[in-house]
Structure 1
C-alpha cells in the first residue's frame, strides 16, 4: 500500500529549482530534517543516514512534441537508524 503524504507540481524557473535542490542538499549534508511546504501543506522528513538514491531520466514523445524529465528519489525505511523502535526478544 502506498500513501501520498505531500505533493507539489508547478512551472518554476531554473534558478528557483536550483535553490530548492540546494536547500535539500544542505539539510541532508548537515544531517538535519528536510521540511517541504506549499501553502498550508507541509511535511518534515528525517532522512536516514543510509538511504537508496534513484535517478531516472525519461523522454516522452507525443506526436511532434518531446518532453524530457529527470526524477530524483531518495528512499529509506522508517525503522532504520536511531529512530528504530526498541524490542526485547
Structure 2
C-alpha cells in the first residue's frame, strides 16, 4: 500500500518546546479528543481510536564506521475503517 503524507513539519526546537507539544498530544489522548497538527497554512485533524498501536523506534542513520544522526520516533497507528487494537510486548519509557 503506498504511503500518502497528510502533514509534515520538521523544525529545530528546544527540549522544553518539544515537551510542551508532546504534553498537548498526551492531554488530548487522555481526554479522548482529536489531534490537530498545524504549520503555516497546512493543517490536519486526526481522531485516534481508544486503542491505537503505539510504535517507538530509536535509530542511528549514517555510515557504520562514523558518527551518524540519532533519532527517537513516536508513532500512533490505526486502520481508518475500524480503529486500532494491536501491539506486542509492554513498553516502558523512563
TM-score by length of 2: 0.79
Relative contact order, higher structure (CA 8 A, sep 6+): 2
Equivalent residue, structure 1, for 2:76: 74
Q: How many aligned positions are there?
A: 81
Q: Distance in 2 between matches of 1:65 and 1:12?
A: 22
Question: Which runs of 5 or more residues in structure 1 are unaligned?
Answer: 82-89
Secondary structure of the residue aligned to 1:65 is coil
Consecutive unaligned residues of structure 2, counting only runs of 5 or more, are 84-94
- Could you tell me how far apart the structure 1 residues matched to 2:19 and 2:12 are? 13
Q: Map 1:1-89 to 2 at 5 A.
A: 1-62=2-63, 64-81=66-83
Looking at structure 1, the residues matched to 66 and 52 of structure 2 have their Cα atoms a distance apart, in angstroms, of: 39
TM-score (norm 1): 0.83
More helix by share: 1
Indicate the SS of the match to 1:19: helix
**Aligned partners of 2:78 and 2:66: how far apart in 1?**
39
